[in-house]
Structure 1
Amino acid sequence: MRITFLGTGTSQGVPLIGSKHPVCLSDNPKDKRLRSSILIEKNHKIFLIDCGPDFRYQMLRSHHKKLNAIFITHEHYDHIGGLDDLRPINLKIKKPIPVYGLRRVLENLKKRFYYIFSENKSNTSKISIHELDDDTDFFLVEYFKVFPLSILHGALPILGFRIEDFAYITDASSIPIPTMKKLRGLNVLVLNVLRKVPKHHSHFTLSESLKMVQKIAPKKTYLTHISHLLGFHEDIQKKLPKNVYLAYDGLII
């Protein structure tokens, strides 16, 4: 399995528009972060988790040209804002792209991207929606088992996803016990971290993320959804525990 980090930043990305924060002014490419999203490739199939507003540039930068399915964690703009840019991929593969998410999320897509679902949709992206719920143990996509993971983003229920021994969790502030059981035996975990302090109501801080890593005990962890307030990439990486890494845009594992 091959994982490409298309983006590793928070909802505003890094640098922030107009910011004079030292991290925003950094010349290190690893301190420049588009909105969080990953590609999963296996057996010539390509799955996208979240389709944010930087999607077009992310796909051009990574030289990817097709998708077999999209998994949506939740309906916030930084995770769905790029759905309009699926159209060139539709034209290439000549069929709708399956999109998987919670009912609430899919209903939100129907409202915000109503023109995609209208009868007159000749010049729009084409997607087919597939509803997941709390009772969904796993679903099959291109013969792969995908396990949705119930996560809390503040008070908002959202999803993470597990395929084989890889799991992706973003925007979490809490992971319920039943989900923790589904995270046993991971080779690679991707987990969100916002900043060091202060505590945030809907995102893990660094200390909270590291405590969660200790509980889940994957072989390796990559931290994503990072704000400029966490600090410089190189400085933070030196202080992380063994086998815990800051992800960065373009990283391939």
Structure 2
Amino acid sequence: MNTPRTSNPESPPNQATVFPEVVFLGTGTSVGIPALGCDCEVCTSTDPRNNRTRCAILFRLPAGNLLVDTPPDLRTQLLREKIPLIHAVLFTHEHTDHLFGLDDLRLFPFRLGHGVPLYCESHVERRIRKVYDYAFSDREATHPGSTPQLDFVTITGTPFEVLGIEVIPIPLKHGPYFDVLGFRIGDFAYCTDTNEVPESSIELLRGVKTLVIDALRYQPHPTHFSVDEAIEVIRKVQPQEAYLTHICHDLNHPVADAELPEGIHLAYDGLRLPMNL
């Protein structure tokens, strides 16, 4: 079993001593936990594992920090985890809870010396250009850093390279209207915001050691897996261990985690896992 580990997140990611790892920046559903105005047991819990910001993860790689999605809580997440720099971003899809922290990338081009590379499908790029139209205006900038500097790299369903490592896109369904991507890097796969993994994508996940997958709540949902549905997918893929993410306030961490089958866990904000490239 992968044991959550502690490392020095302030160390420059190009140091040979940095072990490749995954940092769970956020593991919550679109409204976050605690939910506004809710006084349920989970939303009022003092267990920090029940405090769930919007979903994102970070791959700490030998060549840099690779972020997956830019949720509205991004600045808070990066400060909390002491992540000083983002070198590139992957996008699973264009929903608000995975996109609306994009402006928090504005500082990074000063240190990178170029715009932040955004790896996404063409329809996600169109959404970003529409929502963040000020970042792509022909108007002369008033000062450096007034808008985020972003460099798009179009991805499709074929593997591609980022920061010297291969990324395998995993096509997923997110309800009846949205096709989204999961990603596999080495022996680790991340599949958030889905309620259907096609058989062809199951095959792409074969052999992963760690699978992270959407599991919103116990009850069925039209665009997200329930806990039981996620467990069914996990049993198909047969990873060594699995973590559930995109969790709502129906799941009280210590109770729900204890009830899961062996090798399956609830993820939580700040969890760190080693990985093999």
* TM-score using structure 1 length: 0.96
In the alignment, does 2:184 pair up with 1:162?
yes
Residue among 224, 233, 244 paired with 1:223: 244
Q: 2:120 aligns with which of 73, 92, 101?
A: 101
Residue 141 in 1 paired to residue 162 in 2? yes
Residue 105 of structure 1 aligns to a residue whose secondary structure is helix
CA distance in 2, matches of 1:29, 1:36: 16
Q: Any residues of structure 2 matched to 1:38-77 within 5 Å, and which? A: 38-77=57-96
**CA–CA distance in structure 2, aligned partners of residues 251 and 119 of structure 1:** 42
Give the corresponding residue for 1:119: 138
Per-residue deviation, 1:172: 0.5
> C-alpha distance in 2, partners of 1:68/1:179?
27
Gapped regions of structure 1 (runs ≥ 5): none
Q: Deviations over 1:168-210 (max 9, x none)?
A: 000111011111110000011111110001x111000010001
Q: Does 1:150 align with 2:179?
A: no
Equivalent AA in structure 2 for residue 241 of structure 1: P
Give the count of matched residue pairs: 249
Higher percent of residues as helix: 1
Q: Give the drift of 1:44.
A: 4.1
Query: Per chain length, whose mean CA-contact separation is higher, i.e. which structure has more relative contact order (CA < 8 Å, sep 6+)?
Result: 2
CA RMSD of aligned residues (A): 1.0
* Correspondence for 1:129 among 148, 152, 163: 152
Partner deviation per Cα, 1:127-185 (whole Å, 9 max, x = no partner)? 1111122xx32011122111111000002101000111111000111011111110000
Counterpart amino acid of residue 93 in structure 1: L
Give how far 1:91 is off: 2.1
Percent identity of equivalent pairs: 37
Q: Is the 8 A contact 2:58 2:66 kept in 1?
A: yes
Is residue 178 of structure 1 aligned with residue 200 of structure 2?
yes
Amino acid at match of 1:124: T
Question: What SS does the aligned partner of 2:106 have?
Answer: helix
The reply on whether 1:214 has 2:235 as its aligned counterpart is yes
Query: TM-score under structure 2 normalisation?
Result: 0.88
- How far the C-alpha of 1:102 sits from its partner, in A, is 1.2
Cα shift at 1:94: 2.5
> Which sections of structure 2, spanning at least 5 residues, go unmatched?
1-19
